[in-house]
Structure 1
């Protein structure tokens, strides 16, 4: 009988299970006082293989720390406590492949959605966004393929929460943060708490940004950390577009995120105009009228778009 072909998802799950089992085995071995130098060097080489190895191992370290904080009893009961912790960790490793949930969430142009997870985490998803939500073992992961989402993380601390966007990973450190992926640029703004950002290319150092800060990253590296206007960052949840001395070309780009019929600039000189103000994201006609009021512009309606151009004298 011909052996069934292994699907991409199956291969992914096998790799994750194997990595989880390796991390559990290494953690249990390193906790034992009789491990030797050769084993230590092998362990360090395993950690150095990839960021995924280090992240998986850190999950067990955090689990140990959280469980260990619960135990403050006399030394004679310590042995049973360690045995209990080991049994719990082995259970997590063995059941890793059973506790797996994955969902793809897509919002259309002009549509928003909110996801509420059982741990209290809420994910507000902006217009024209595609993300993948995966819950398995000690990990909660969201992959943003394009678009924007705002994350408010629940109180559960035993499982890490990670967001993959573009060429980087955002790790929650107990927080509320916004992630916007446009083309090859990802912008992260923290409303509360802090996040750690690391790129796939390990040549770039990771960065931690705190409440009221933001930065962007791409394949070229991380930007400088800037002050975040948190009211502007989260305004989209109230259907508001807020611009602060923003180039007109970027304003038009933002309008087109929310409406199927696009607006186009035909005169390159218009790109230098700057816009400041707050607008209703759902009122396309009102947005166009506002731009014509602010600047000497005219609009023309074509079959599939609205064109903005310099007003004729």
Structure 2
């Protein structure tokens, strides 16, 4: 199990949790004075970690308060009870801190199920880092593809970091692919907020049946997507619909260590439609030379596709 090098020391994180809880408790009282208010604002302004930790208590308060069936005044004892619960909740999760690096080999699929019911299916040749602690549920997709089905827990946000983007779940199922500097997010159910680092004006909200692609320099328009096509890989299937041959070859090569190459750039004008078994490399090559005017030559390290003469 690899540890996240940017994670803080547990004792420092516990101290920050206690500070945020103390400030939250004090700010709920009606007798706060100007000196305390200024001290609180100065504490918030010190760094982003203070603001983030304090916001967790605000979110917890709003969640628990929403669960109350009858409106009632927030008494000091109620606030104290909620903050105490929050501290205990956080302490428990610091004790059960979990960080892990997960990697799949070429052609391998893997599924993991988190304690909160979240399921992550990981596709071929992928690497992701999982971090679960405190109020944090964070996955960083280093490369490859993963399908997320988020559990019912709502006290902690679920974030996926991929490239220079942050994806925030809003109760949903979504697929993420990171390859060659591009990240594609396809939402199957629910909604996902897509934000780009340091660009507050580029936040997009994707709903079920929508997708977009972003890179370090560009963010595409939102387009429609098809659930069957997006999730076909979970059943070891590849679905193509008038897909350029170059893209078909790229997809095949994701699942097999011996690559297929095009011998002529003009071959990319050819299009492929159909459903294929991603695990059957020989069958994939045979299907291409049957459907298209191609021939396959087996060289030392590659299979070369050229026009049939």
TM-score w.r.t. the length of structure 2 is: 0.88
Task: Tell me by how many angstroms 1:60 deviates.
Answer: 2.1
Give distance in 2, aligned partners of 1:286 and 1:68: 58
Matches within 5 A, 1:51-200: 55-72=52-69, 78-95=75-92, 97-200=94-197
Aligned twin of 1:242: 239
Aligned residues: 303
Pairing partner for 1:260 from 257, 260, 280 = 257
> Judging changes above 3 Å, is the alpha-carbon distance between structure 1 residues 57 and 215 closer, same or farther for their aligned structure 2 residues?
farther
Give distance in 2, aligned partners of 1:184 and 1:22: 40
Give distance in 1, aligned partners of 2:220 and 2:105: 30
Give distance in 1, aligned partners of 2:173 and 2:232: 14
CA contact (8 A) 1:121 1:154 kept: yes
Give distance in 2, aligned partners of 1:222 and 1:145: 19
Aligned twin of 1:228: 225
Confirm whether residue 311 of structure 1 aligns to residue 284 of structure 2.
no
Q: Deviations over 1:107-164 (max 9, x none)?
A: 1111101111121111111111111111101111111110001011111111111111
> Judging changes above 3 Å, is the alpha-carbon distance between structure 1 residues 56 and 311 closer, same or farther for their aligned structure 2 residues?
farther
CA contact (8 A) 1:195 1:209 kept: yes
> Judging changes above 3 Å, is the alpha-carbon distance between structure 1 residues 255 and 21 closer, same or farther for their aligned structure 2 residues?
farther
> Judging changes above 3 Å, is the alpha-carbon distance between structure 1 residues 119 and 226 closer, same or farther for their aligned structure 2 residues?
same
Q: Structure 1 stretch 31-40 or stretch 289-298: which is displaced more?
A: 31-40
SS of 1:154's equivalent in the other structure is coil
CA contact (8 A) 2:17 2:87 kept: no
TM-score w.r.t. the length of structure 1 is: 0.87
Task: Tell me by how many angstroms 1:186 deviates.
Answer: 0.5
CA contact (8 A) 2:44 2:51 kept: no
Confirm whether residue 273 of structure 1 aligns to residue 239 of structure 2.
no
Task: Tell me by how many angstroms 1:203 deviates.
Answer: 4.9
Aligned twin of 2:7: 12
Give distance in 1, aligned partners of 2:306 and 2:260: 11
Task: Tell me by how many angstroms 1:296 deviates.
Answer: 1.2
Aligned twin of 2:212: 215
Give distance in 2, aligned partners of 1:158 and 1:182: 32
Task: Tell me by how many angstroms 1:306 deviates.
Answer: 0.5
> Judging changes above 3 Å, is the alpha-carbon distance between structure 1 residues 202 and 14 closer, same or farther for their aligned structure 2 residues?
farther
Gaps of 5+ in 2: none
Give distance in 2, aligned partners of 1:191 and 1:275: 24
CA contact (8 A) 1:175 1:195 kept: yes
Give distance in 2, aligned partners of 1:273 and 1:32: 70
Q: Deviations over 1:180-200 (max 9, x none)?
A: 111210001111100111111
Q: Structure 1 stretch 107-116 or stretch 29-38: which is displaced more?
A: 29-38
Q: Structure 1 stretch 286-295 or stretch 105-114: which is displaced more?
A: 286-295
- RMSD value, Cα: 2.6
